Amino acid sequence: MTRALDPNFAEPFGWRWDVARGARAERTAQPRAGRRGPLAALAAGTGLAALAILGGFLGFVGMLERSERVPQGRADGIVALTGGAQRIGDAIDLLASGYGRRLLITGVNERTSRDEIARLNPTQRDWIACCVDLDYRARNTIGNAIETRRWMRRHHFGTVAVVTSNYHMPRTLIELDHALQGSDGVVPHPVIAEGFDAGRWWRSPGTARLLAAEYVKFVAAWLRTRFEDDPEQSRAAILIGRGKPVKMVAEPLPRRID
């Protein structure tokens, strides 16, 4: 036994086992294996996160409407979110067809007048003159939801049909649900833009970029609304608006002087 532990012990086959050298090699190898452990865990975590993001994105795309449908039943009012000319035209058609008593177009550019909207929709001039309200205060989707809530309260509306693009509808519904405190009186009417095919997004880089950006905003809106009580007090809203950051999501209502 004592002889087997001697580092100078030589076997008759022409080699010898250096006990000290073997022990040093074993000690040197152990830290390297330890370093590979965190790297492997990081790689696995990154892979799982990528799969989760991809799965969430595919689920988001899967929930988008592929075709326009007439709303089931009528609502008290109709709200159209600006961002596409087709949204306004579809909303006015719903109003003329009796799907709501009044129409709010929210987020209108300050340079756009009622006459301009009437010029673009000449067959609906009478409806635009009598039953269409324009909102110039909203700055983004959060502001659209705030102005919708104000408008519904002003007219004592309990239900509203919402007109916006199909890819924008999921985020719009999150913001409206938050602003209206979980009201079940929201009827979505998604608009499908001509040439936009969410079912084949991978064939169009422009469509893929648009959907990816909207998915990020959708997730951000969902997370934000888990922690905020009232959208009018939102401090994170300026980070989610379109274009350059703004100082507010909706202008405050003027104080009433009696």
- Name beta bridge partners: 165: 191
**What domains are defined for the chain?**
77-239 (3.40.50)
pLDDT in tens, 54-95: 888 889 899 898 888 777 789 999 999 988 768 898 999 999
The string of DSSP letters for 213-253 reads HHHHHHHHHHHHHHH-S-GGG-SSGGGTSSSS--S-SSPPP
Closest by Cα among 59, 229, 71, 239 to 141 = 239
pLDDT in tens, 179-237: 998 778 999 999 988 778 888 888 889 899 999 999 999 999 999 999 888 888 777 66
Residues 6+ apart with CB under 8 A from 146: 138, 179, 231, 232, 249, 250
Q: Whole-prediction pTM value?
A: 0.74
Q: 249: which 2 tokens?
A: 């999501």
Q: Could you tell me the sign of the dihedral formed by the alpha carbons of 240, 244, 246, 249, in that order?
A: negative
